[in-house]
């Protein structure tokens, strides 16, 4: 699939990995990039940078009415990047209630699902189109210290496979990006080597171009998959250490 002259929409596009995706699409020759953000003003710097190619739209993926409004406004979209994410830094049992876990599921699972449902008919109008779900290494190995975040990414990964099957007849590919250690606000608790958001966006665009199904975007994601394949039980026990309050450290 060619990125040039495409029209992309990036949720949570005002900072971090989303911001890097916006810049990558512009650099690759996309005709237009919609930046979805809860606060439109927070994406103004990207609008100013791109000279008319970037359009900021109000979008909160936990609110179906804003998804519906975005779909009505953005009828020319050919690529949807479901990047918006939520990590509450609570464990499943020690959290005071289910509010954090519910929010993680709302943002990380139901949000991308709602976006996919709303934009599927729009994507069907293009000869080629794509949905990119920005997931996590916590979606291929359960991390107890990540509470509801890890289960939500497992769910989103399974959703990606189901959507890929449903959307194949209309030539809309669904890409699952497995992201590990990235230098963003969400990963501020992680020590050690971290990839730049630009590296993840670059991997994402390459995955779109070659119509990949699932891609490990960085060293930590690759390392997690390798360790899981090598010794599943040993790796599960290693992940339990996160419950003791040990800080997560990359292998590099």
29 Rama sector, left if φ>0, alpha if ψ -120 to 50, beta otherwise? left
Catalytic residue among 21, 34, 109, 149: 149
Query: Rounded distance, CA 142 to CA 128, Å?
Result: 34
Buried b (16+ CB within 10 A) or exposed e, 97-130: eeebbebbbbbbbbbbbbbbebbbebbeebebbb
Exposure b/e, 206-245, CB count within 10 A at least 16 = b: ebbeeebebbbbbbbbebbbebbeeeeeebeeebeebeee
Find the largest Cα–Cα distance for the chain. Answer: 52
Place of tokens 């990125």: 3
Asked whether the CA dihedral 204, 210, 211, 213 is positive or negative, the reply is negative
Count of helix runs (H) and strand runs (E) in the chain: 9, 7
- Burial label for 171, CB within 10 Å (0-12, 13-18, 19+), is middle
Could you tell me if 135 and 179 are in contact, meaning their C-beta atoms sit under 8 angstroms apart?
yes
CB 46 within 8 A of CB 23: yes
Alpha-carbon dihedral angle through residues 213, 134, 247, 183, given to the nearest 10 degrees: 110
Active site residue 149: yes
The residues assigned a catalytic role are: 149
């Amino acid at each position: 699939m060619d990125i040039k002259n495409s029209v992309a929409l990036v949720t949570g596009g005002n900072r971090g990995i989303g911001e890097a995706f916006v810049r990558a699409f512009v650099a690759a020759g996309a005709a237009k990039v919609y930046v979805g953000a809860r606060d439109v003003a927070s994406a103004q710097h990207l609008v100013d940078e791109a000279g008319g190619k970037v359009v900021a739209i109000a979008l909160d993926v936990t609110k179906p009415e804003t998804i519906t409004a975005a779909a009505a406004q953005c009828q020319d979209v050919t690529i949807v990047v479901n990047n918006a994410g939520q990590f509450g830094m609570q464990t499943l049992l020690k959290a005071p209630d289910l509010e954090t876990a519910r929010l993680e599921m709302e943002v990380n699972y139901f949000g991308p699902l709602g976006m996919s449902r709303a934009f599927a008919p729009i994507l069907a109008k293009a000869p080629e189109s794509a949905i990119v779900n920005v997931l996590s290494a916590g979606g291929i190995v359960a991390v107890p210290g990540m509470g509801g975040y890890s289960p939500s990414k497992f769910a989103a990964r399974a959703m990606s496979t189901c959507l890929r099957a449903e959307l194949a007849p209309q030539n809309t590919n669904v890409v699952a990006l497995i992201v590990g250690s990235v230098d963003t606000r969400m990963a501020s608790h992680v020590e050690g080597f971290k990839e730049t958001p630009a590296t993840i966006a670059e991997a994402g665009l390459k995955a779109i171009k070659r119509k990949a199904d699932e891609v490990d975007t960085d060293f930590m994601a690759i390392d997690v998959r390798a360790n899981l394949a090598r010794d599943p039980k040993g790796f599960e026990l290693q992940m339990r250490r996160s419950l003791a309050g040990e800080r997560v450290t990359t292998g590099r």
